[in-house]
Structure 1
Amino acid sequence: MDIIRKIFEAIVWLGFFATVFFGYYYYLKFRNSEKMLLIEKGTDISEVYKKRETHFPWFILGYTILGCALGFAIGITIFLFLQQTKVDPYNNILPFLSLSLMFLFGAIGLIVGNSIERKKRQ
């Protein structure tokens, strides 16, 4: 049984790497054929493939991470406070408290970061 499991794991890993390899291979093949078709049509490919200026939303990412960290810290603080007071009815929901507060404050951070990013663009 153990040897069958090891063979199965080897086949799974081989399939994973084959998928990644062939995916990249066909991506390069498609891109090359697309360039060749554009050259045959007489299109200037430097305009098609010129680098565009990208803008990464640092404010959105930063405020989302900050909100998640703040929500997690508040959740842990409430969790520890309620554990010290030995409140029994809340013991079932205490593990989910920090996670839900983390999502709540993360969403608030996402909204704040998005509004700051929008003001910065204008």
Structure 2
Amino acid sequence: MAVAILIPVSFFLVVFGITYLYYSTRNRERMALIEKGADASIFNKGRSENASPVWKIFILNFALLLIGIGLAIFIASVLVATIGVLSEVAYPGTIFLMAGISLLVGFFVSKKLSN
């Protein structure tokens, strides 16, 4: 019973610890750069006007992933019905294959959009 409560508590402690370390380290790094006389505009350097927003790339990749999974389920059902492949093999195999292909296509499309 006591072990069951330790799992969620330790999960939230780990998430809090990682978040705290990230922000405190970032703050120390920025303060060190400012003390050395660096211009504060370097913190906004990665944000350019012609770059695609992150949410557009995320939605594109997520949509391609869902399309790939849907197509994989269709292909697997065709394989099971026509060729007689075991459904325990056909469904996971085609889902992983098509999900990987769709994420690869999403990578190349988002790379082309960012250029």
- What TM-score, normalized by structure 2, do the two folds share? 0.65
- What's the % identity of the aligned pairs? 27
Counterpart of 1:20 in structure 2 is: 15
Does the 8 Å CA contact 1:73/1:98 hold for their aligned counterparts? no
**Matched residue, 1:71:** 72
Runs of 4+ in 1 over 4 A off after TM superposition: 57-61, 110-122
Query: More relative contact order in 1 or in 2 (CA 8 Å, sep 6+)?
Result: 1
- Kindly name which structure, 1 or 2, has the bigger radius of gyration based on alpha carbons: 1
Is there any run of 5+ residues in structure 2 with no aligned partner, and where?
none
Unpaired stretches in structure 1, ≥5 consecutive residues:
1-5
1:37 matched to 2:38? The reply is: no
Give the length in aligned residue pairs: 108
How do 1:1-122 residues align onto structure 2 when only pairs under 5 Å count?
6-53=1-48, 54-55=51-52, 56=57, 59-79=60-80, 81=81, 93-110=86-103, 112-113=105-106, 116=109
Higher mean Cα deviation, 22-31 or 100-109? Answer: 100-109
Instruction: State the Cα deviation string for residues 74-117 of structure 1 (Å, max 9, x = none).
Output: 212443x36xxxx7xx5xx2222122222333344445555555
Deviations 1:8-43 (A, max 9, x none): 222232222222222222222111111110110000
1:8–1:75 Cα change, 3 Å: same
What is the deviation of 1:46? 1.9
State the superposition RMSD in angstroms.
Answer: 3.0
Q: Deviations over 1:37-86 (max 9, x none)?
A: 0110000122233452453265554334322211211212443x36xxxx
Q: 1:67 to 1:38 in 2, by over 3 A?
A: same
